[in-house]
Amino acid sequence: MTMGSTVAVGMSEVKVSARAGDTLVALGLGSCIGVCLYDRRAKVAAMVHVMLPESNGRGQSPGKFADTGVPLLVETIEKAGGSKKDCLCAIGGGAEVFSFSSSTPGLAIGKRNGEAVKAALKTAGLRIMAEDLGGNVGRTVSLDVATGVVKVRPVGGQERELAKLG
């Protein structure tokens, strides 16, 4: 039996694992979004931690943006032995942690991230099984490699199962 480990998915990172026992985790998502992708046949899991909606041609860090992060996520899971047609996904994040006045920058990034991720997933032909978006508290999103179970834990709250992608 091999011991699994927690694989942290930092901001603008994409992580993939086919090791049963591993859990991919995006800690403390605020307006960021954790996009979870799981191939139920190959049992490969991947997650991208998206920060902003559109890359506007900035190509250096594709994982940072919804429109480039989702294609990168698909590419990554396919390189690791997954196949897009067998993949399901779930998404969590997109909160508005600060309540903004109209003069404050960063207005509604969480909401825009949510919309951009959904649009990118639609373009990629991926089906969203479950989502936990919006609100005003941060959350931690995890994806279990063996089972495809996606869990969400809001700051100061209880962890709950969002979806079972496997």
Partner 1 sequence: MQFNEIQLDALREIGNIGAGNAATALSELIQTKVDITVPEVRVIETTKIPDMVGGPEREVVACLFGLSGGLEGAAMYVFPLEEAKYLSDRMLQQPEGTTTEMGEMEQSVIGEVGNILTGSYMTAMQGFTGIASNLSPPAVTVSQAMVIFSEASVIASTFADWTIWVETDFIVEEGHLKAYLFLLASPEAMEQVLTSLGVG
Interaction site with partner 1 (CB under 8 A)? 10-12, 27-32, 51-52, 64, 97-101, 103-106, 109, 136-138, 155
When the beta carbons of 47 and 52 are compared against partner 1, the nearer one is 52
Least distance from partner 1 to the Cβ atom of residue 105, Å:
5
d(C-alpha 48, C-alpha 35), whole Å: 5
Name the residue with tokens 């989502």: 131
d(C-alpha 96, C-alpha 13), whole Å: 21
Q: What residues contact 81, with CB distance under 8 A and at least 6 apart?
A: 18, 39, 42, 44
Active site residue 32: yes
Least distance from partner 1 to the Cβ atom of residue 27, Å:
5
C-alpha of 80 from chain center: 17
When the beta carbons of 25 and 87 are compared against partner 1, the nearer one is 25
Least distance from partner 1 to the Cβ atom of residue 88, Å:
26
Residue type, 151: K
Instruction: List, by residue number, the catalytic residues.
Output: 32
